[in-house]
Amino acid sequence: MKLYAQGYPLQAAANAKAAVAWLRRRPEVNGKVGAIGFCWGGGVINELAADDPTLNAGVVYYGVPPLDLAVVPQIKAPLLLNYADPKLDTRVGAIFPAYEEALKAAHVNYRLYIYKCANHAFSDDTQSARYDKPAADVAWQRTQEFLAQYLK
């Protein structure tokens, strides 16, 4: 948690931005690049979306919002946000509503899904206590459809 508080996600987002630029130059890429992040990586994708106006799509699974919500108006990429039930994931559940309000105010193209009765890490099939196959399957189907829409 100490690295997070020191802004490490900002450095990770800068690294991801460099990766987006590198991917976009690859001959086998159609010029469109999307990014997916789970948990801590979802927070990185939220930061990346604010930092890289060339990102074509971002998918977040239960990641924290950008550290500074003032950057939300900079987001140009459509976002798919998959969040756990805030009654179970109380930490992230307490902070993503303010993110949604900032997204609305900035007129960002986003889709938010809250998976009732699913906890943080609901898509992680290595965590049997939290894995929720029905929620994970629906979220993954939505992810595939979203990326197909924005990356083809």
85 in catalytic set: yes
Task: Determine which one of 52, 85, 89, 132 is catalytic.
Answer: 85
* Contact partners, residue 120, CB within 8 Å, separation at least 6: 39, 62, 84, 88, 89, 91, 92, 130
Q: For 124, phi and psi rounded to 5 degrees?
A: -85, 100
b/e 109-122 (16+ beta carbons within 10 angstroms → b): ebebeebeebbbbb
Task: Determine which one of 120, 124, 125, 137 is catalytic.
Answer: 120
Say if residues 33 and 24 touch (Cβ distance below 8 Å): yes
107 in catalytic set: no
Q: Report the SS3 class of residue 113.
A: strand
Task: Determine which one of 39, 124, 132, 137 is catalytic.
Answer: 39
Annotated active-site positions, please?
39, 85, 120
